[in-house]
Amino acid sequence: MTTTTDYIPGDPALMLTVLRSASAGLGQEALKEKVLSLFCCDDDGTQIILQDSPALRTRIEYAKSHLKMAGLIRISADGTLTITSLGEAMLITYPLGIDDGVLCSLPAFRNRLYSEHAPAVRAIPNAALNYGFSAGLGAHRLTENPYPADSREHEDWLMGWDEALDQDKREKETLLN
């Protein structure tokens, strides 16, 4: 048997162990002991004895935070884990393991993950599009596009012009109804 301080069990087994620990109402120390008792093998099939390490504790915290984010567990002030009814259902549905792919099927997890890690999008003004929109509102003809036909600006002007016509059409339809 190999002993290691840097081997970390896969996410499905680790998250399942954390979820089962929450079902049993275990505290921090009992959870760590449960994780350390996991049967793990390396790629060659050799059993690995897990040892407490900062990397392992980080992975346990990662699993706990993701399970909490998904609404599967609650963590009390003293670190005791409790399972939610959704967590109980997930234990039944996924008895072999739970990973981020499974958690992404849950809207609460997906929305929280996206809100925390979505890239910041900043609108970049597009002068050609705005100019085309103004031209469309001003009833200018399509042939009045000032940009070369093979340029991006030409396409942007056309999109703006077309959007202005669509907006005008929608406004007229609204007034008729």
CATH code for position 71: 1.10.10
Question: Do 96 and 134 have their domain in common?
Answer: no
Of 20, 8, 171, the closest CA to residue 95 belongs to: 20
Higher pLDDT residue, 56 or 64?
64
On the CB side of 118, CA atoms within 13 Å amount to 9
Angle between helix 85-93 and helix 11-23 axes, rounded to 10 deg: 130
Region 149-161 average pLDDT: 90
pLDDT of residue 120: 64
Query: For residue 122, is it within any domain?
Result: no
Beta strand pairing status for 2-4 and 47-50? Answer: parallel
Clarify whether residues 109 and 131 are in a common domain: no
SS3 67: helix
Q: Judge whether residue 7 has pLDDT over 50.
A: no
Neighbours of 103 (CB within 10 A): 21
In this structure, the answer to whether residues 16 and 88 fall within a common structural domain is yes
Q: Are residues 95 and 9 in the same domain?
A: yes
Q: In the predicted model, what is the mean pLDDT of the chain?
A: 81
Question: What's the pTM?
Answer: 0.58
Q: What is the mean pLDDT of residues 6-32?
A: 77
Residue 4 has pLDDT above 90, yes or no: no
The whole-number pLDDT of residue 84 equals: 93
Of 117, 135, 150, which residue constitutes the final position of a domain? Answer: 117
CB 38 within 8 A of CB 9: yes
pLDDT of residue 88: 92
